[in-house]
Structure 1
Amino acid sequence: MYPIHVDSEIGRLQTVMLHRPGKEVENLTPDSLSKLLFDDIPYLPAIQKEHDYFANTLRNRGIEVLYLDTLMVESLSDKEKRETFVDQLLSESKQMVNGSSQLLKEYLLSFDTKQMVSEVISGVLKKDLPEQAKKHLYEIMADHHPFYLDPMPNLYFTRDPAAAIGNGISLNKMREPARRRESLFMQFILNYHPRFSQYSIPLWINRDYPFPIEGGDELVLSDKVLAIGVSERTSARAVEKIAVNLFKSNSTIEKVVAVEIPKCRAFMHLDTVFTMIDHDQFTIHPEILDKDGNMNIFILEKGEDDEPVSITRRDNLADTLKEVLELPEINLIPCGGGDEIASAREQWNDGSNTLAIAPGVVVTYERNYVSNQIMRENGIEVIEVLSSELVRGRGGPRCMSMPLKRDLISKN
Structure 2
Amino acid sequence: MSFKPLYIALITVVILITGFKSKQDDSNHNYTLINESSVYTAGDAITLVFTFTGSSDVFLYCSNSYGSLILKPEIDNSLKFEIPNILSDKSGILNWELHSDSKRNSGHISILPKNDIHAIETYIGPPSIEAGDTDYTMLVTIPTDDLDNPLIDSTKVTVKHQFLETQKRDNIYTKYGIGYKNLYAYEKSGRMLINSECLGLNSKEFDVNIVPAIPTDFTISANRIHNYADGNQMTTFKTSIIKDRFNNVVSDGTFVTFFITNTSGYKEETSGTTIDGIATAKLVHPDHEDQWTVKAYIEGMANSEVITLNYEQAITDFEVSFSEDHRTITVGPLQSFMNQYIPNGLHVTLKIYKDATIEHQMIEQSIDGFAKFKLNKDRYPKGRYKLDIEAAGITKSFADIRYE
TM-score range, shorter chain: under 0.3
Structure richer in helix, relative to its length: 1
So what's the TM-score if we normalise by structure 2?
Answer: 0.14
Query: Which has the larger Rg?
Result: 2
Structure richer in strand, relative to its length: 2
So what's the TM-score if we normalise by structure 1?
Answer: 0.14
